[in-house]
Structure 1
Amino acid sequence: MRFGMPWPGPGVAREAEQAGAAAFCTGDFADHDPYTTLVEMVANTERALLGPAIAYAFSRTPYAHATAMRQLHAKAPGRLFLGLGSGAFRVNRDWFGVPADRPVARIAETVDVVRAWLRAENGEKVQYSGEFYSADADVRAPVLGRLDIPVLLAAFNRRMAATAGRVADGVIGHGLFTASWWRDVVRPAAGDEGTEHGWVITAVDDAAPERAIRDARRMIAFYLTVKTYDPYVAHHGWEGPVERLRAAFRAGDTDAMADAVTDEMLADIAVCGRTTDAKAALARRAGSLPRDVAYFAPPSFLVSARRRAAYARASLALIERESQ
């Protein structure tokens, strides 16, 4: 088990690597591009594993994903992974203007085509013929050569986890994942052979622990407003609290959203409060973390960039403890 964090910027990242952080990841959204951020990550780290966790799979062609990774590999050989996520139906349709149907089958093909570009040797055609993609590229310039960059899939529910186990090198778990969800749903579907990365909602503040706990509750509540996670909610028997937090979300009452997150939900999902509390929670959750890399992820819902940076710096105490 190695620990890391979502990219906190060069300053905190240097401290984090010195403290023992083994990996950094970046995401994809309307105000930040994962590959642009990955350039900064490569330039400001020395040893850590780096990659998107995740990049929206369908907002770019497989060619675009692969060429970005190929260029960055030249600066950080052996340190990269590529995490892809299907994204929500409405995001694909309304933001990107791309087909949003059959995301599981579509992302499986995406992985195949990305690999075709990453593993192409010089002098070989890049060829692929599938339902969603085709390629017949004769690249005459000597710029290729096989790269074995791991491709991971963000997988929440059973079907995507099974697809990750079948076509990818591993799975990226969501910040909501609990011990039960890993044990009973994700691992049986994905299998034991692949790599496991995952986010852990982490908010540590010795000066204001109650605020940190409140931020973690709000983050959990915000995630659970999405109906995609209904099988997860039913699995844990959390229908009542989730119904209340969704009603609060519709009413714009973020305090009521946080109030609806029970102590059980908080303990099963987050690591938060004072440093001593967070260390104890991390010890209790040893069996509920991804096998390979866990990212201590500060809450982002209604949390300023300054406070997120403070949470990232505070989480270094957890990395130091686990690295000893």
Structure 2
Amino acid sequence: MRFGMPWPGRDVAREAERAGVGAFCTGDFADHDAYLNLADMVADTESALVGPAIAYAFARTPYAHATALRQLHAKAPGRLFLGLGTAAFRINRDWFGVPADRPVDRIAETVDVIRAWLHAENGEKIRYSGEFYSIDADVRAPVFGRLDIPILLAGFNTRMAATAGRVADGVIGHGLFTHSWWNDVVRPSVERGATADGRTESALEHGWIITAVDDAAPERAIADARRMIAFYLTVKTYDPYVAHHGWEGPVDQLRKAFRAGDMDAMAAAVTDEMLTEIAVCGTTAEARETLKRRAESLPRDVGYFAPPSYLVRRQRRTAYATASLALIDAVPAEN
């Protein structure tokens, strides 16, 4: 596998690429755009894989996703990937003003239509007739040529993971993923989806790793990792994951603390077991040992050292990104 990181900006990225970081990813939110950041990533890197992990699938049409990728491919051939996520029901409905029902079925068609645009040869019409999209495009300009850019889906629960195996090239794992969740839930679901579609090639695996390393103040890094875990687990979408691990008690506590606005109590509700199974944090030496121990639970292809972002200032996130460079050789390349 190769290690990567969320886009840390030009200066850190250049140092990171020299140190051996092999991939950078970006994403969407109300104050940043996945494809604008991807353009910076293409311009400011030389050999690393680059792509959204994730872009909001329904904030743009399949045409818009494909067109952005086609333009950026010209400057970074062979280095792009596309990670898509459905986003929450309310984000689709209230932010984007788009239909929010049946996200799993909808994203499966979205992948198909993006591929139709990316795989088009010159002179070909792009046609697609489905439940959510109907495309009949006759682009009379020599701008096409097949592009095989990998498309991955953010697959947390079983149905989306199976859909990733069935229609996409792989899956992007969440920062909460543990050894058990990868091996007992996600990988079997991806394989089940691939088998249903008659696929034989192995699905790609990318995944986030909550990483906070600070040799001068390891207790602060550990606290930031606990707070990030707690914030993620306030979301009820992850209840099957919580039940799988038997963590209902502490998660109930942290959700109560979150509703009360008590961030310290929210972080304190994250048990040592949860921290050990999910995060890589503390001193450099401790983080390296954790990575070695968790080698079998990391994504097979790309693992992103993801600094905690919840109530963490940009400067500290940058420091965490820089500190994570000392972890790149902690896991043998064959893992």
Aligned counterparts of 2:331 and 2:181: Cα–Cα separation in 1: 23
Q: Show structure 1 runs of 5+ residues with no match.
A: none
Does 2:309 match 1:300?
A: yes
DSSP 3-state at the match of 1:58: helix
Does 2:161 match 1:152?
A: no
Q: What amino acid is aligned across from residue 271 of structure 1 in structure 2?
A: V
Does 2:37 match 1:15?
A: no
The number of aligned residues is 324
Q: Deviations over 1:53-95 (max 9, x none)?
A: 0000001000000000000000000000000000100110011
Name the counterpart of 2:163. 163
Aligned counterparts of 1:244 and 1:235: Cα–Cα separation in 2: 17
DSSP 3-state at the match of 1:315: helix
* 1:323–1:38 CA distance, 2 compared to 1 (3 A): farther
Aligned counterparts of 1:208 and 1:306: Cα–Cα separation in 2: 15
Are the equivalent residues in 2 in contact too, given 1:212–1:273 (CA < 8 A)? Answer: yes
DSSP 3-state at the match of 1:135: strand
Does 2:279 match 1:254?
A: no
Deviation at 1:319, TM superposition (A): 1.2
Deviation at 1:193, TM superposition (A): 1.6
Normalised by the length of structure 2, the TM-score is 0.96
Name the counterpart of 1:231. 240
Aligned counterparts of 2:331 and 2:12: Cα–Cα separation in 1: 18
Aligned counterparts of 1:34 and 1:203: Cα–Cα separation in 2: 23
Identity rate, percent: 80
Name the counterpart of 1:57. 57
Q: Deviations over 1:141-188 (max 9, x none)?
A: 100110000000000000000000000000000000000000000000
Name the counterpart of 1:103. 103
Deviation at 1:322, TM superposition (A): 4.3
Aligned counterparts of 1:166 and 1:133: Cα–Cα separation in 2: 19
Q: Deviations over 1:241-284 (max 9, x none)?
A: 00000000000000001000000000000000000000001011
Deviation at 1:27, TM superposition (A): 1.1
Name the counterpart of 1:5. 5
Aligned counterparts of 2:86 and 2:331: Cα–Cα separation in 1: 32
Deviation at 1:320, TM superposition (A): 4.2
Does 2:78 match 1:69?
A: no
Are the equivalent residues in 1 in contact too, given 2:49–2:81 (CA < 8 A)? Answer: yes
Tell me the C-alpha RMSD between the 2 structures: 0.9
Name the counterpart of 1:44. 44
Aligned counterparts of 1:268 and 1:301: Cα–Cα separation in 2: 19
Are the equivalent residues in 2 in contact too, given 1:20–1:323 (CA < 8 A)? Answer: no
Q: Show structure 2 runs of 5+ residues with no match.
A: 192-200
Name the counterpart of 1:215. 224
